[in-house]
Amino acid sequence: MPVLNEVRYLERAVATVLQQDVPGPMQLILALGPSTDGTNELAARLAADDERILLVDNPGADIPKGLNLAIRASDAPTVVRVDAHSELSPGYTRDALATLARTRAANVGGVMRADGRTPFQRAVARAYNSPIGLGGGAYHGGTQEAEAESAYLGVMRRDVLDEVGLFDESIRRGEDWELNLRIRAAGYRVWFDPALSVTYWPRESWTRLARQFRATGTWRGELVRRFGRRNSLRFFAPPALLIDLALAVVVGALQLTQVLTGWWSVAASVVYLPLIAYALVIIAVAIGPGGGKGWRDKLWTLAVIPTMHLSWGLGFLIGTSRGAHDTVDTSRLGTRNTPLP
C-alpha cells in the first residue's frame, strides 16, 4: 500500500486488509511517503499494534517506486495491491486467490465501487461508477467475468512480476496499465472478476479532483507517445471534447463579430452539435435514477463530470505534445485533515 497524506482514510483501509480471511500467512507493507498530515505517525501506531504491518520509506512519494519497495520487502508468492483511499470487501483476498488459481491468470482484479460522504464526493463517485464518467472500463461496472486489458489494484503472482520486471518507475500514473501490458505481452492472462469489489473514496474537493485528472491525463498522453495504438480509443474522447469546445468558442466569436456569415456560419455551427449532445447526456446522468441524496448531489454531478473530462483532456494534450516529464499528482500533497469518525 503506497501511502501519502491519508490520515483520514488509512486506519479504515488498513483494518479492511487485516480483516481478510487468508489461507496462510499475510503481511501488510506500507510504503510511506513524506506526509505532512500525521499519516506516518498513525502508520507507526498501527504497526506497533500489529506485527503483520511493515513500514518502508518511500521518500520520493512516487507510487510505482513505493509499490516496488513494498514488493521487494517481502518474499510472498502472491502480491495484493491495495490503496489507502480504498476499503477491501470481506472475503476479497480469499476469493481473488481462488480466481487466480482457477483461471491460471497472472493478475486478477475486480470492480472499483466508488463511494462518497459529502454531496461533492458522492457526485464524483457517481461519475466513477458511470460509463459516461470514466469511459466504461470493465472495472468501473462490468458484469461479465473475462480476460481484461488491465486490472484495478490487482492480485498478482510474484513469479510473473519478477519475470516482467515489477512496476516501471519512470511512469508516475498509469503504471498499472503498463505493467499489465507487459504481463500480457509475456503470454500471461489478466483477468476481471466482477465478484470482487473494492470501495474507493474519491478526492474531496473540486481543485484536488481537477489536479488529479490533469496529472492522470498527462501521463496517459505520455503512454500514447510510448505505446501508440495499444492504448484504447476511449482515451481519446476527452481531448476530442476539449478540442471541439475550443473550436466552438472560436466559431462563436467569429459569428458574433460577423466574420462568419451566411452558409459559412451555418456550416461552422456543426461544432456545436457534439457539445449539445454531451450537455444533454450529462444532464440526463445528473437527474436520472441514482442521482444522489438531494439537489446538491445532482448539481455537483453537472460540474464534476465535465471537470474530470476537460482536466483529463487538457493533460492528455500536454502529455502527447511534450511528454509527462516530472508531472506529479499534486492532489495528494499538503492535506491537513483529521481522521474521519
Taking only the tens place, the pLDDT of each residue in 52-97 is 999 999 998 899 999 999 999 999 999 999 999 999 999 999 999 9
Amino acid at 183: I
Q: Say what the pLDDT of residue 141 is.
A: 62
Average pLDDT, the chain: 92
Q: Which three cell numbers stand for residue 149?
A: 486489458
CATH superfamily of the 2-204 domain: Spore Coat Polysaccharide Biosynthesis Protein SpsA; Chain A (3.90.550.10)
* Whole-prediction pTM: 0.89
Terminal-residue alpha carbon distance, the chain: 22
pLDDT of residue 248 exceeding 50, the answer is: yes
Q: Which amino acid is at 328?
A: V
In this predicted structure, the answer to whether residue 105 has a pLDDT above a threshold of 50 is yes
Percent of the chain residues topping a pLDDT of 90: 82
∠ at Cα 239 (233, 241), nearest 5°?
Answer: 100
Contact (Cβ atoms closer than 8 angstroms) between residue 319 and residue 215: no
pLDDT at 336: 45
Mean pLDDT of 214-220: 96
- The CA distances from residue 29 to 50, 62, 123, in Å, are 12, 16, 32
Instruction: State the pLDDT confidence band at 315, using cuts at 50, 70 and 90.
Output: very high
255-300: pLDDT as tens digits: 999 999 999 999 999 999 999 999 999 999 888 876 556 888 999 9
Residue 340 has pLDDT above 90, yes or no: no
Please give the grid coordinates belonging to residue 112.
Answer: 472499483
Give residue 334's pLDDT band: very low, low, confident or very high (50, 70, 90): low
pLDDT tens for residues 138-152?
Answer: 566 667 899 999 999
pLDDT value at 337 more than 60:
no
What's the grid cell of residue 23? 489461507
- Which pLDDT value is given to residue 338? 41
Three-state DSSP string of the chain: CEECCCCCCHHHHHHHHHCCCCCCCCCEEEEECCCCCCHHHHHHHHHHHCCCEEEEECCCCCHHHHHHHHHHCCCCCEEECCCCCEEECCCHHHHHHHHHHHHCCCEEEEEEEECCCCHHHHHHHHHHHCHHHHCCCHHHCCCCCEECCCCCCCEEEHHHHHHHCCCCCCCCCCHHHHHHHHHHHCCCCEEEEEEEEEEECCCCCHHHHHHHHHHHHHHHHHHHHHHHHHCCHHHHHHHHHHHHHHHHHHHHHHHHCCCCCHHHHHHHHHHHHHHHHHHHHHHHHHHCCCCCCCHHHHHHHHHHHHHHHHHHHHHHHHHHHHCCCCCCCHHHCCCCCCCCC
Say what the pLDDT of residue 303 is. Answer: 94
Most confident of 61-65, 131-135, 244-248, 296-300: 244-248
Pick from 78, 84, 18, 9: nearest CA to 52: 18
Say if residue 124's pLDDT is above 50: yes
CA 164 → CA 36, 59, 301, distances in Å? Answer: 34, 25, 40
Other beta carbons within 10 angstroms of residue 316's beta carbon come to: 28
What CA–CA distance (Å, rounded) separates 35 from 289?
A: 39
Distance CA 139, CA 127 (A): 13
Cross-strand partners of 111: 197
Domain ranges of the chain: 2-204, 227-332
Which grid coordinates belong to 300?
455537483
pLDDT at position 216 is 95
Over range 153-158, report the average pLDDT.
Answer: 96
